[in-house]
Amino acid sequence: MPHDHSHHHHHHEVPEGDGRLALAVAGNLGLTVAQIVGGIFSGSLALIADALHNLSDAMALVIAFAARKIARRPADKDMTFGYARAETVAALINYTTLIVLGLYLAYEAVMRFFSPEPVAGWAVVIIAGIALVIDLATAALTYAMSKSSQNIRAAFLHNVADAAGSVAVILSGTLIIMFGWMWIDPVITLLISAYILWMSFSEIGEVIRVLMLGKPTGIDTGKVIAEIAGVSGVRDVHHVHLWQVEERLAGFEAHVVIANGRWADADAIKSKIKSRLHDRFGIEHSTLELECAVHACSGAPVLGHA
């Protein structure tokens, strides 16, 4: 019997956030230039570190913007699943960039301990204060979109980390002004690095899971199989695949063996299975291969293919 597909259609969000992303990019690029210049003249590694992170923010937003555009393209003969995973790829790029940046900042901070340099505290505080305002404004522009998109969430977390970095840099400059603690600059840089790495590693796993065709978070594969097996008229389930098609769409396929004497009810059984998959697990895209008990696959594995 040919494969049957669920007829639930998935629609991508409208491009209502593109203008906000463009504003966020412009703000971050302008801030990056100001921070780099200020960091060079003040001698603050923490400020330059924050500037580099700001540059990564701008690039992250550019990548996120481009990915959103690509993701809206419909499926075609070359990309039959469509282009929605472009956003997941963009998220992976952005998190990887954050990890590389965090490691680089940690290295530079350690080197500064061995070769300390004077830092102009007031310049650091003023520029970092301006940076904090822009960071918060940029984060506000992308906050709403970050709730429903891995791609935008990666860019948003870039900005959140940068806002935290700006606060840390302000603290560094203040302590230098008050106590002359030049060593605080590399210490703050290490803290910024640690926060960036912690945040990135905590988020990148879910992105990799999607790209590796892992099951959706929150859905128990065993329970899905048990649910299907419990439908009246089902004798067996095998060759099961459950995966995250994209961030907001789960996919499922399996071979379902119809019990002896129930082939006349095959369509009704199939319909009931699809309804349960959708209603109890939120699985909108399902493909079921129905087999009669007499000609069912022999020795087939429950999960995947032999």
The distance in angstroms from the start CA to the end CA of the chain is: 21
pLDDT reading at 110 higher than 70:
yes
Query: pLDDT value at position 117?
Result: 62
Q: Do 159 and 192 have their domain in common?
A: yes
pLDDT at residue 6 above 60? Answer: no
**In residues, how long is the chain?**
306
Encode pLDDT of 270-293 as tens digits: 999 999 999 999 998 899 999 998
Q: What is the mean pLDDT of residues 164-193?
A: 80
Q: What does the longest C-alpha to C-alpha distance in the chain come to?
A: 87
Per-state percent for the chain, helix, strand, coil, to nearest 5: 65, 10, 25
Could you read off the pLDDT of 129-170 as tens digits, one per residue? 887 887 788 777 777 777 767 777 777 777 777 777 778 778
Answer whether residue 4 shows pLDDT above 60.
no
* Highest-scoring range by mean pLDDT, 109-113, 288-292, 299-303: 288-292
Least confident among 180-189, 228-237, 242-251: 180-189
Cβ atoms of 10 and 284 within 8 Å: the answer is yes
| pLDDT per position as a tens digit, 191-243 | 888 888 888 898 899 889 989 989 988 899 999 999 999 999 999 999 999 99
- Residue finishing a domain among 192, 211, 230: 211
Task: Report the alpha-carbon distance of residue 191 to residue 170 in Å, rounded.
Answer: 13
For 183-206, b/e burial (b = at least 16 CB within 10 A) is ebbbbbbbbbbebbbebbeebbeb
Both 57 and 125 in one domain: the answer is yes
Domain-embedded: residue 270? yes
Q: Which pLDDT score, from 0 to 100, does residue 220 have?
A: 93
44 by Cβ neighbours in 10 Å (0-12 / 13-18 / 19+) ranks as buried
pLDDT at residue 64, as a whole number: 79
Domain endpoint, select from 211, 236, 251: 211
Identify whether residues 40 and 152 lie together within a single domain. Answer: yes
In a domain, 11, yes or no: no
State whether 226 and 207 are in the same domain.
no
Q: Cβ distance 172 to 51 under 8 Å?
A: no
Q: Which residues pair with 258 in a beta bridge?
A: 234, 292
Report the DSSP pairing between strands 249-258 and 285-292: parallel
Among 233, 242, 228, 239, smallest CA distance to 301 is for 239
**73 or 40, which is more confident:** 73
* CATH code at position 275: 3.30.70.1350
**119 pLDDT above the threshold of 70:** no
**What DSSP string runs through 88-140?**
HHHHHHHHHHHHHHHHHHHHHHHHHHHS-----HHHHHHHHHHHHHHHHHHHH
Q: Does residue 154 sit within a domain? A: yes
Domain boundary among 188, 211, 234: 211
Task: Read off the tokens for 65.
Answer: 């913007």
Residue in 196, 204, 152 with CA at minimum distance from that of residue 49 = 196
DSSP 126-179: HHHHHHHHHHHHHHHHHHHHHTS-HHHHHHHHHHHHHHHHHHHHHHHHHHHHHH
Whether residue 73 is contained in a domain is answered as yes
Q: How many domains does the chain have?
A: 2
Range of the domain at 129: 18-211
From CA 194, how far away is CA 147, in angstroms rounded?
24
Inside any domain, residue 233: yes
More confident position, 161 or 252: 252
Helix (H, G, I), strand (E, B) or coil at 65: helix
Cα-to-chain-centroid distance, residue 170: 29
